[in-house]
Structure 1
Amino acid sequence: MRMRPTLSWTPVGDLPPATTDTAPVADALRAGGVLVLSGAGISTESGIPDYRGEGGSLSRHTPMTYQEFTASVGARRRYWARSHLGWRTFGRALPNAGHRAVAAFGRHGLLSGVITQNVDGLHRAAGSEGVVELHGGLDRVVCLSCGTFSPRGELAARLEEANPGFDPVAAGVNPDGDADLTDEQVAGFRVLPCTLCGGILKPDVVFFGENVPPQRVEHCRTLVRAASSLLVLGSSLTVMSGLRFVRQTAEAGTPVLIVNLAPTRGDRHALTRVALPLGSALTTVADGLGVSVDGRTAA
């Protein structure tokens, strides 16, 4: 649920060639002060699909905009029915080797911070501290009238009670936790209001067409200014909300390193792009640094 890209990005012109050499990433981490910027690609090994790349959900699914959600009762019914079903799968996702490696780097004092474009909460679940969730988190709900926050689990239990027997078969689950359902499948789904004021409930995430809170953006810019290097993990950087930090880093003369299988919009700003699956790449780096992941000590 990010700001809607106006165009899909495809590489134009010569970009730096990709590599499978993780040594530059290890060198940056060894020096310390690394700021991580992660995207949907780090969560694919947890069973959460990417927006782009092979089989990416944008090929079949257009996320709801903030304007649609706030303007239409029918749109909110469609959103909450799909999101409620998706939460049953999404809420059970577990951190993978990539998330655990990032948490281990943090425990060993190699990172200056973690910014994620994801709304899945898996960096926090893996043990990373002080994670800046650029687009919010699906495990929280906010009332648009009174501003009260509440756990997603509480709303999920209420929705289960209000919609007995709701168990349609979805075509898939998307990176925003939204299941692919037809209009017929969501018809009759009961949407619930805020228990305190009766207002409209919304997941605490930034929808397409909605802006990231300015204070959050400025906090990220501060982290970028303080970093010794920026390590991008699993992001195509197609959307400006993440690309702007890569550009800020490069303009300051600070190294940018990317681990992503496919070319990204930030490749021309990067010292290197490592084209390897994130879990294996980061585990290899951890082993080479002697960093303990999952309680095991690297040889």
Structure 2
Amino acid sequence: MRSLPDLTMTFITSLPEARHFVAQFHGGAYRQIVALTGAGISTESGIPDFRSPGGIWSTRHPVQYQDFLAFEESRLEDWERRFEMMDFFSRAVPNAAHMALVVLARSGFLKRLVTQNVDGLHQASGFPQDCLTEIHGNSTYATCLSCGGRAELEAQRPCVEAGRSPVCDRCGGYLKAAVISFGQEMPERELRVAAVATQDCDLFLVLGSSLVVQPAACLPALAVQNGAELVILNAQETPLDSLASTVIRTPLAQTFVNFGEELAQMTQMVCG
């Protein structure tokens, strides 16, 4: 049974009201903003939510990290899926919600963006790299599991098509998309950076995350425990809605249309 919004919570479902509410983020009312983004911010850019019903993980079991290390068949299967995802990623462009985060970062109000996404759209939007923390890695390039060297995905396609999993041309170690796979340890440094920023923020924004995947799902509660305000913008109910001061149910890209005076010009530069 769907729970009702908390009586102390502002619950917004109309676009005009949502746009009016988010405009305050650019006005300086909050000086230490941390944002967490999930799949919902990228679905409006044409990238499917792979975890949702009908997504890739509902029809194909994910390759476990230990299987990737142990079996050539598993490595090839993982690589074939990366190329499948590349097709989605290559067609996608940042939307207004991505660009609004760039506006907030460049204005100095958004101190840290923590993302669960691996699609590279935050980088494509021009978001400052030194303010971005990817806790699930990045699926748009590969790294060597032995030496950590970077490799481009497309360059590995001939090898995969020939039935061989790619290896590093520097040390011979296995190459793998830089995403954190199921069963792989989460990146300690990135999690530490995210936690420190969360403890220091005065506003924690959730954009397009269902808040069911740990450890990212614990960050909003940590922010509230340290006195921050929590605002959740997500299409569906989340387990942490009751902690939020405001919950917004409108489409993210439409909500942030015309956010900040720089938005239209910046979007043209990235997508034009």
Q: So what's the TM-score if we normalise by structure 2?
A: 0.84
Classify the secondary structure of the residue corresponding to 2:250.
coil
The residue number in structure 2 matching 1:242 is 216
Residues 27 and 37 of structure 1: CA distance in aligned 2, closer, same or farther (over 3 Å)? same
Contact 1:134–1:217, Cα closer than 8 Å, also in 2: yes
Deviation, structure 1 residue 292: 2.1
Larger CA deviation: 30-39 vs 51-60: 51-60
Q: Write the distance in 1 (CA, Å) between the matches of 2:73 and 2:144.
A: 18
Deviation, structure 1 residue 105: 2.2
Deviation, structure 1 residue 78: 0.9
The residue number in structure 1 matching 2:270 is none
Q: What residue identity is the alignment partner of 2:179?
A: V
List aligned pairs for 1:181-260, cutoff 5 A.
Answer: 189-260=163-234
Deviation, structure 1 residue 219: 0.5
Q: Runs of 4+ in structure 1 displaced over 6 angstroms?
A: none
Deviation, structure 1 residue 37: 0.7
Classify the secondary structure of the residue corresponding to 1:295.
helix
Give a deviation string over 1:20-66, Cα, whole Å, max 9, x none. Answer: 23244333443132211100110011111114556444433432221
Q: Write the distance in 2 (CA, Å) between the matches of 1:28 and 1:93.
A: 26
The residue number in structure 2 matching 1:19 is 12
The residue number in structure 1 matching 2:155 is 157
Larger CA deviation: 22-31 vs 123-132: 22-31
List aligned pairs for 1:77-116, cutoff 5 A.
Answer: 77-116=76-115
Q: What residue identity is the alignment partner of 2:265?
A: G
The residue number in structure 2 matching 1:176 is none
Give a deviation string over 1:129-157, Cα, whole Å, max 9, x none. Answer: 1211111112231111222223x2xx412
Q: So what's the TM-score if we normalise by structure 1?
A: 0.77
Residues 54 and 259 of structure 1: CA distance in aligned 2, closer, same or farther (over 3 Å)? farther
Contact 1:119–1:135, Cα closer than 8 Å, also in 2: yes
Q: Write the distance in 1 (CA, Å) between the matches of 2:26 and 2:53.
A: 30
Give a deviation string over 1:143-199, Cα, whole Å, max 9, x none. Answer: 11222223x2xx412423x46xx6xxxxxxxxxxxxxxxxxxxxx633221111221
The residue number in structure 1 matching 2:145 is 144
Classify the secondary structure of the residue corresponding to 2:204.
strand
Q: Write the distance in 2 (CA, Å) between the matches of 1:34 and 1:283.
A: 20
Higher helix share: 2
Q: Write the distance in 2 (CA, Å) between the matches of 1:53 and 1:141.
A: 25
Q: Write the distance in 2 (CA, Å) between the matches of 1:296 and 1:102.
A: 12
Give a deviation string over 1:87-111, Cα, whole Å, max 9, x none. Answer: 2442342212211121122223331
The residue number in structure 2 matching 1:132 is 133
Deviation, structure 1 residue 295: 0.9
Q: Write the distance in 1 (CA, Å) between the matches of 2:103 and 2:196.
A: 23
The number of residues matched between the two structures is 256
Segments of 5+ residues of structure 2 without an aligned counterpart are: 268-272
Q: Write the distance in 1 (CA, Å) between the matches of 2:172 and 2:202.
A: 47
Contact 2:86–2:140, Cα closer than 8 Å, also in 1: no
Classify the secondary structure of the residue corresponding to 2:82.
helix
Percent identity reads 35
Q: What residue identity is the alignment partner of 2:220?
A: V
Segments of 5+ residues of structure 1 without an aligned counterpart are: 1-10, 167-187
Give a deviation string over 1:211-267, Cα, whole Å, max 9, x none. Answer: 222121111111112211001000001111211111101111211101111111221
Q: What residue identity is the alignment partner of 1:27?
A: Q
Q: Write the distance in 1 (CA, Å) between the matches of 2:146 and 2:53.
A: 40
Larger CA deviation: 101-110 vs 118-127: 101-110
